[in-house]
Structure 1
């Protein structure tokens, strides 16, 4: 039973820039650079028949390439930080692509995604990092300057059922043109 999700791949030059943020935060489990991505729609553990239906549905999407802007380093989890992320600007083309995927997945019976879409790249999972340590980390490194990349395709990833962080495999790619 595959665990699937859609996302944008992070270009290697941007991934290397983001990798420079690694280290200096006790309690962080850093994501391997080759597994950096931006999740658009988590699909979950599904059977092979549903996976084929997901693929056929995603093939119908027609959108133009667009620019993604990484704006800042941040954390998710508020007073109990659980992830260190590089947040992206929620520009219309990105939000519309995600919303279209959400509608299409619900149409074929995949349950609605309960979380609000916040475009980001997860850099580290935080298990025991204190809120103060995370705040200190962000105050010294949170100046991440704006980086951009052109999204020319989105992909269908598979992942092992694990604690997260990969490895992820591109099962199919869907061009934006």
Structure 2
């Protein structure tokens, strides 16, 4: 079985700004910079055969190269915060690419993703962090903005659990702008 997701890479030029956000939040398990990415679609655990078919389907996707920038921060879990993240400015092109990844999942026979597409870079997973803690952390960071960067490809990543943070491996690359 392979635990797979499609995602955009994060340009190293914005990593220092993201790392600067990773401070002073009780219960935060900060993500290492090697794990920064923008998820387009999480597929879950797939067999070797399904992974091969998914690779073929993702290879059919056509999209222009994207200009990406981050603006603001947010979190998931209003009553019980589960993660904090930097918000990716949503564009029509980005939404269309995510929708194509969703269609590939559906063609593979996977259930529809019930969550709305919220492009972001996860900064930390939270454990026992209160809404008040997150609000206090977010207040001085709400105006965060990154420089724009160009993305010319997306990847199919596998996720490997172990001691410490998960390890992500780019298993396949798909060129944008063709």
Post-superposition CA distance 1:9-64 (Å, at most 9, x none): 11111122201111211110000111000110111101001100000111111211
Post-superposition CA distance 1:80-100 (Å, at most 9, x none): 211110011211000000001
* Equivalent position SS for 1:86: strand
2:125 and 2:61 map into 1 onto residues whose CA distance is 32
> What number of residue pairs does the alignment pair up?
177
After the TM superposition, which segments of 4 or more aligned residues of structure 1 sit over 4 Å from their partners? 161-165
Superposition deviation, residue 79 in structure 1:
2.5
2:45 and 2:164 map into 1 onto residues whose CA distance is 14
2:14 and 2:146 map into 1 onto residues whose CA distance is 11
What is aligned with 1:32? 32
User: Could you tell me whether the CA contact under 8 Å between 1:71 and 1:88 is conserved in 2?
Assistant: yes
What is aligned with 2:151? 151
1:114 and 1:76 map into 2 onto residues whose CA distance is 15
User: Could you tell me whether the CA contact under 8 Å between 1:69 and 1:89 is conserved in 2?
Assistant: yes
User: Could you tell me whether the CA contact under 8 Å between 1:3 and 1:161 is conserved in 2?
Assistant: no
User: Could you tell me whether the CA contact under 8 Å between 2:72 and 2:142 is conserved in 1?
Assistant: yes
* Equivalent position SS for 1:128: coil
Post-superposition CA distance 1:89-126 (Å, at most 9, x none): 21100000000111121012122112111000100011
1:105 and 1:161 map into 2 onto residues whose CA distance is 23
2:96 and 2:112 map into 1 onto residues whose CA distance is 16
1:132 and 1:171 map into 2 onto residues whose CA distance is 39
Pick closer, same or farther for the CA change 1:137–1:40 going to 2, 3 Å.
same
Structure 2 gaps of 5+ residues are: none
1:142 pairs with 2:120 = no
Structure 1 gaps of 5+ residues are: none
User: Could you tell me whether the CA contact under 8 Å between 2:14 and 2:146 is conserved in 1?
Assistant: no
What is aligned with 2:22? 22
User: Could you tell me whether the CA contact under 8 Å between 1:155 and 1:174 is conserved in 2?
Assistant: yes
